[in-house]
Amino acid sequence: MTLSDPHDSLDDAELVRRAARDERAFEALVRRHAPAVHRLAASTVGPGAADDVVQEVFIAAHRGLKTFRGEAQFSTWLHRVTLNACAHALRRRTALPLDGLPEPAAPHSPARAGEQAQVRERLAQALATLSPEQREALTLREIAGLDYAEISAVTGAELGTVKSRIARGRAALRVWLTRAGVRADD
């Protein structure tokens, strides 16, 4: 039987305040946000490099808590730290992984799993053709599940710019995937 940590019931703002002097408060922040950070990292740098990025993110977050002013939500700030760590990881290597999307949960048939892997590979190739700004905005929207205002806060781009990047990125993906022979019902 595992006892729950009393820190788990605190909101992010309180945990951030306590984390400077209480390591268990920081651990609660990590437990709470690590899955979302990992999803975002895996979608950006690939599943193989995501664990390293997550580790870098939380090391940077721990160091940066002293300078976190609380003007944005902690999760918004953490998304920015994650994107910075992903950009750093991508600069360290030359090519975007073709397996850059998360694996589907328990496929029902090996044939369908193979088809899904091909679609993921094509989608990763298509994402690689987008501008970094479009790829970032689409990843934050579709993988991290952020709304437009949150994406604006994370990226520092105006709300209209975020909407435009997402719309243009989706349109470019549709064109690329159509040319690659991927149909909407695949």
Q: pLDDT for 57-72, tens place per residue?
A: 999 999 988 888 878 8
pLDDT tens digits, 13-23: 898 888 888 89
Report how far residue 105's alpha carbon sits from residue 108's, in angstroms, rounded to the nearest whole number. 9
Calculate the average pLDDT of the chain. Answer: 81
Interior CA angle at 31 toward 28 and 34, to 5°? 135
Find all residues with CB under 8 Å of 154, minimum gap 6, and list them: 76, 79, 80, 83, 140, 146
pLDDT tens digits, 76-127: 899 889 988 988 887 776 444 444 545 545 545 566 666 666 766 777 778 8
CB 28 within 8 A of CB 7: yes
